[in-house]
Amino acid sequence: MKSKWQKSIFDSIIHFSVWFLAWIIVLLIFRDSSSKFAYSILSAWWCSLYIGFIREIGLRALLPLFFLHVCVLFICLTLGIGWFLGGHDSPTLSEITFGHFILSTVGGYIILGSPILINSVVLYMLRKQKKF
């Protein structure tokens, strides 16, 4: 049987993978649209919310998800790839300021992790309701 932390690491990888795949698929489908980045983030958010509810991904997955998010953000900045918001004037690692890095990390993490928070609240309420 898996430990709680092994499950949380696995759940965070699933969450991130679902998010990333939905983001890429919608970018490809709407490649000619000027709103493709907004569609892709919204679709990835909903997809990860749905899969997270089915898998019952809990709050423990937020910590490994944070480290995964920071690693991907750092790799993309190093390679000069615009991560998360589609590369709208994304700075490279040599151009980035500490404030931009913190804002990108926190802002991206809030959007990326919010489906887990919402699912945790909903699952908690459902479990409490079953006790009555």
CA distances from 116 to 27, 52, 54 (A): 23, 7, 11
pLDDT in tens, 10-66: 999 999 999 989 999 998 999 898 888 888 889 999 999 999 999 999 899 999 988
Cβ(15)–Cβ(54) below 8 Å: no
**pTM here?**
0.80
pLDDT for res 87: 53
Tokens of 20: 């990333």
Q: How many domains does the chain have?
A: 1
- Give the number of C-alpha atoms closer than 13 A to the C-alpha of residue 12, restricted to the C-beta side: 19
> How high is the pLDDT of residue 95?
67
Backbone φ, ψ for residue 85 (5° rounding): -105, 20
Instruction: Calculate the alpha carbon distances from 67 to 16, 102, 117, 126, 128 in Å.
Output: 11, 13, 17, 29, 31
Q: What is the pLDDT of residues 14-24, one digit of tens each?
A: 999 999 899 99
- Residue 79 or residue 7, greater confidence: 7
| Cα separation, 44 vs 39, whole angstroms | 8
Residue ranges making up the domain that contains 51? 4-131
Name residues whose C-beta falls within 8 Å of residue 14's C-beta, 6 or more positions apart in sequence. 51, 55, 57
